[in-house]
Amino acid sequence: MYRLSQFASLIVLLFSHAVADEAKNSSKTASAHKEAAAFKPFTGKIVGAKVRLRTAPDLDGHVVRQLNKNDLLLILGEEGDFWAVKAPHNIKSYVFRSFVIDNTIEANKVNIRLEPNMEAPVIGQLPAGTKVTGQTSLLNNKWLEITPPDSVRFYVSKEFVTLAGPADYLPKMEKRRTEVESLLNTSYLLAKEECSKPFEQMHPQETIAQFEKVIKSYAEFEDEVKQAKEGLAALQEIYLKKKISYLEANTSDGSHLQEITFPALAGVEAKAAALYDTNIWDRRSFSQKSKDMTSKMRFWHQVEESLFSSWTSFHADKKIDDFYREQKVNAQSLSGILENFDPTLKHRPGDYVLKENGVPVAYLYSTHVDLEKMVGKEVNMQVTPRPNNHFAFPAYFVLEVKPN
């Protein structure tokens, strides 16, 4: 009887502990929910160099990219020593196209991946019925490229982030960044145009004003301000070099010439020889290069720009030259006779077709070389793969071409 009573007491004790533990866990859960609900999103600024953005809140989390000093992020929560952040605007994600029909996810828990391949890290999942919009990946046409949904979180160590402002500060700054990028691109285009003119036709006042606006009105964007100063210094150097050449050629004292005043730029030096060697006006992405393309080449300009944008998602801080340098390293050789391809076909994978012994073997296009000049000729080419849009033969971008 004593043992039975003792056993009953033990049961009661265990039950009371279980109830207490459950209450304790419930309290913790409620506290966590309350804490999450109380968290107020804010804009954070990166204070270190090459700070790692990760897929998980620990040091074993896959590194998405390295962030630069002064980069801004929307902080949505915290997990231990890490901030949970919204995906930066220039990061893309991918879902397998077989699971998407009429812009709707047709399977449950479809993985969202960081790159368009099955080995890429999973950064989230989409339930059946979710509506998605995107475009076929130029890196792998079996995948759909989408903007990461709001549910996706990335993580960055707290020690490298400081408060920049409230949550709405980030979109305001992104708008200003778009403005300064556009202004700087325009400045470089105008400068390139001015520097291509004979000295007596140069009127660089508008270009100078554009560069000065970047420097004075967008001081928070250090890289853009630095590029504006470099561009302004280059314009001044080239202007003065042309002025000297003009005066020497005309044996004149130049008293009749309008005097152009350039602002003083502390810490910026420009040497004409170096400027011509580096071709400073072509540093600004695709925007300047498209101006000298033929209409056929320009048609593919946006395709290449999109491809480059996708590539930079996995190669932070890289430039367009780095992109095509990698393409050349992995290029392959093709040879045959170049012919025009039907320009009326929708979703055509190229403007030209390569034939061997009269049989088509590849579709081709390029924004680097004018292939129209090679039509009807036997050629040797260095090429890199591109999506063939389900046409009969593989498609390639032509990096270099030479007559055979």
* CATH code of 336's domain: 2.40.50
Residue 348's nearest CA partner among 388, 309, 385, 384 is 388
Assess whether 139 and 236 both reside in one domain.
no
Assess whether 174 and 265 both reside in one domain.
yes
What is the phi-psi region of residue 150: left when phi exceeds 0, alpha when psi lies from -120 to 50, beta otherwise? alpha
**pLDDT score for 62:** 92
**pLDDT score for 6:** 58
Assess whether 58 and 154 both reside in one domain.
yes
pLDDT averaged per 10 residues, the chain (length 404): 53 53 51 62 93 94 89 95 92 92 92 91 94 84 90 96 95 91 88 89 92 94 89 90 87 70 71 49 53 75 80 73 85 93 87 93 93 92 89 92 88
**pLDDT score for 259:** 78
Number of domains comprising the chain: 4
**pLDDT score for 277:** 41
Tell me which of 120, 146, 166 is where a domain ends: 166
Predicted TM-score (pTM) of this structure: 0.60
Estimate the crossing angle of helix 320-329 against helix 301-312, to 10 degrees.
90
Tell me which of 284, 317, 344 is where a domain ends: 284
d(CA 55, CA 399): 35
**Residue the block writes with tokens 């012919």:** 339
**pLDDT score for 28:** 47
Residue 187's nearest CA partner among 207, 217, 215, 213 is 207
d(CA 350, CA 392): 12
d(CA 211, CA 213): 5
Assess whether 54 and 159 both reside in one domain.
yes
Assess whether 275 and 294 both reside in one domain.
no
Q: What is the CA angle 143-361-373, rounded to 5?
A: 105
* Virtual torsion, Cα 159, 164, 168, 174, nearest 10 deg: -100
d(CA 242, CA 249): 10
Assess whether 245 and 189 both reside in one domain.
yes
Assess whether 201 and 101 both reside in one domain.
no
Tell me which of 255, 284, 313 is where a domain ends: 284
Assess whether 208 and 174 both reside in one domain.
yes
**pLDDT score for 362:** 95
d(CA 31, CA 58): 23
Q: How far apart are the first and last CA of the chain?
A: 106
Assess whether 252 and 364 both reside in one domain.
no
Assess whether 326 and 264 both reside in one domain.
no
Helix (H, G, I), strand (E, B) or coil at 355: strand
Range of the domain at 138: 44-166
Q: How far is CA 167 from CA 72, 150, 158, 172, in A?
A: 11, 15, 17, 10
Assess whether 24 and 58 both reside in one domain.
no
DSSP code of residue 34:
H
Q: What tokens does 389 get? A: 């849009």
**Residue the block writes with tokens 């995906």:** 87
Assess whether 330 and 243 both reside in one domain.
no
